[in-house]
Structure 1
Amino acid sequence: MAGTLPPHIDLREPRWDQSTFAGRARHFFMVTDPRNLLLSGATLEEARRLVQDYRAGKVSAGVTEDQLWRAKYIYDSAFHPDTGEKMVLVGRMSAQVPMNMTITGCMLTFYRTTPAVLFWQWVNQSFNAIVNYTNRSGDAPITTGQLGTAYVSATTGAVVTALGLKSLTKHLPPIIGRFVPFAAVAAANCINIPLMRQRELKLGIPILDEDGNRLGESRAAARQAIAQVVVSRIGMAAPAMAIPPVIMNALEKRAFLKRYPWMNAPLQVGLVGLCLVFATPLCCALFPQKSSMRVSRLEPEVQARVREKSPRTEIVYFNKGL
């Protein structure tokens, strides 16, 4: 192999040990880095070329190991791990912090009127639909009808939850009303993600052996993957939607915000952004991206197929999505 790089770097895996939470966290701090959004198309293509060339056994002279890993993370931030397609900009994980801080900040600021609740829940679920589709597991296509059903169901669920809780909290302390957006977002995640990935629940997602050989598709693996993503997404939203309301509730009683009420929204968005910078990668790291399951927990027909193809395999692996 030409170049200065060792030939044993496995670019299919993250740079850091994914069996530990610390290793997964370091990995996702790189993946969710908002600065990746500013990279040009030429930079993304150069990163893809470096990664694909290395996998094919050739490297440009002078490329260092750090440069290769940087290229791998640039590549991962913009291209789907299963299909290899370039992902839509706002659906990438690197867009999570700037997009969510704006949307969540506005949901927490403009929660008092019904039109505002309707509008910002619609905006949030539209964004979530894009993210869920962009970061789905596997390489199977999803139809326009399935996309529409998932989108309408999640948006309806979020709005109904938000309006229902809003009416219930009218006579409770104002601080309680500030948590209505979080309850609506949590409910919507439980609806949106399974519906957006319903094809995986029906047909399964690719399962692999430890060497990366595809052994088939499993619905049981899809259920585990989607459940883990739902938990991660709710956890991701929790600090950003729970901490700022408490701080803002205290600040609104002080003279500063009474004198400058227009500062409410910028402050709220900034607080949400600060929470999301840490919550996004840390909650993505709750479960390994390359999730695993014992063969004995797969569907009987899938177990039989795996035993036939790879009799010694006891654990299969799959991309859980994000």
Structure 2
Amino acid sequence: MSATKASAVEKTYPAIEPAQSVVKPGQINIDAPRWDQSTYSGRAKHFFTTTNPLNLLKGDKELEEVKRIIINYKKGDVPAGLTVENLWNAKHVYDSAFHPDTGEKMFILGRMSAQVPCNMFITGMMMTFYKSTPAVVFWQWFNQSFNAIVNYTNRSGDSPISNKTLGTAYALATTGATATALSLNALTKKFPPIVGRFVPFAAVAAANCINIPIIRQRELVDGIPVTDKDGNKIGSSSIAANWAIIKVALSRICMAVPGMVLPPILMNHLEQKTTFFQRYPWAPAPLQIGICGVCLIFATPLCCALFPQRSSISVKDVEPHLQKVAALKGIDELHYNKGL
């Protein structure tokens, strides 16, 4: 690599420490996360980098450069002057924009780094316009449309989700969320105003409980791969798939809690106890969007990290045929990828 190109790499990915060591071929396994995924703090650090909204600002030229760096490093070709920090920064940007299976650049709104800005806007609007039936229908449809884009963008390259499955999940999740919101709106008219403000959260939770199992229905039928601690496949388990889907659904629901529970409490206080909204009638939507944004910046990575990506299950809790195979190999615990 020429000196000019090397300096460009250093400028794009500045080292944290001036005396940082230059990376050597094979020194780092960049196919594995940077931090220990057996600890919550390690998982949280990983997802803070994965969901970092600043990654959306990377242009096509920069994305192609980091892709070249990562591909070349895997081949053993290390650019001159590339430090450990440079390499990890390039890997984090690469992971934020390119599909892990196909290597194709992902649609920008479907990337994990788009979760915070997109969800803060959608959530804020759902909680601002929660009383009008047309507004409820529109924003629940809008939210599930965004979820469909995310699910399609992040579909598996090895075992892709069919368009029929995505369409079914989209239709049922939209219907379920809208029906939940409208039904609860009708019921909460007899309760204090604060109760009605929590209706969007109930609708989102219901949609997650519908959407995720449908999207991953093949896993429930055929099972997901379970392995020993070294990654050797033992078989496929539907029971492990059940646990994986439950963990993902819980993570998604927990992710929505701060941004959909704290703002209603604050908004109700401002509406009932102060004259703030009388003086600033334009404020509800931008205020709720801003609060949701602050909550989601932290809630998204912290809730993604609740359960290890590579989760474990006791052999005694899986199917009998897998118990027999595991017993022959002297294994008492199996591992599986829970998904996101």
Verify same fold: TM over 0.5: yes
TM-score, normalised relative to structure 1: 0.90
Correspondence 1:278 to 2:325: no
Which among 180, 185, 195 is matched to residue 176 of structure 1?
195
The amino acid that maps onto 2:63 is: L
Deviates more, 1:8-17 or 1:200-209: 200-209
Correspondence 1:68 to 2:87: yes
TM-score, normalised relative to structure 2: 0.86
Which residue is equivalent to 1:156?
175
Give the C-alpha shift of residue 314 in structure 1: 4.6
For structure 1, the 5+ residue unaligned runs are none
Name the CA distance, whole Å, in 2 between partners of 1:315 and 1:87: 35
Q: CA RMSD in A?
A: 2.3
Name the CA distance, whole Å, in 1 between partners of 2:262 and 2:168: 33
Which among 204, 226, 238 is matched to residue 219 of structure 1?
238
Number of residue-to-residue matches in the alignment: 318
CA deviation profile, 1:148-199 (whole Å, cap 9, x unmatched): 1111111111011111110000121111100000011111100011111212
Which residue is equivalent to 2:280?
260
Name the CA distance, whole Å, in 2 between partners of 1:194 and 1:110: 28
Which residue is equivalent to 2:205?
186
Partner SS for 1:292: strand
Name the CA distance, whole Å, in 2 between partners of 1:221 and 1:138: 21
Which residue is equivalent to 1:319?
337
CA change 1:104–1:54 in 2 (3 A) is same
| Matched-pair identity in % | 61
Give the C-alpha shift of residue 9 in structure 1: 1.6
Partner SS for 2:282: helix
Name the CA distance, whole Å, in 1 between partners of 2:119 and 2:103: 25
Which residue is equivalent to 1:100?
119
Which residue is equivalent to 1:234?
253
CA change 1:134–1:300 in 2 (3 A) is farther
Give the C-alpha shift of residue 91 in structure 1: 1.7
Larger radius of gyration, structure 1 or 2? 2
CA change 1:101–1:89 in 2 (3 A) is same
Give the C-alpha shift of residue 135 in structure 1: 3.5
Name the CA distance, whole Å, in 1 between partners of 2:50 and 2:234: 28
Which residue is equivalent to 1:269?
289
The amino acid that maps onto 1:168 is: L
Is the 1:138–1:205 contact (alpha carbons within 8 Å) kept by the matching residues of 2? Answer: no
CA change 1:241–1:44 in 2 (3 A) is same
Is the 1:201–1:223 contact (alpha carbons within 8 Å) kept by the matching residues of 2? Answer: yes
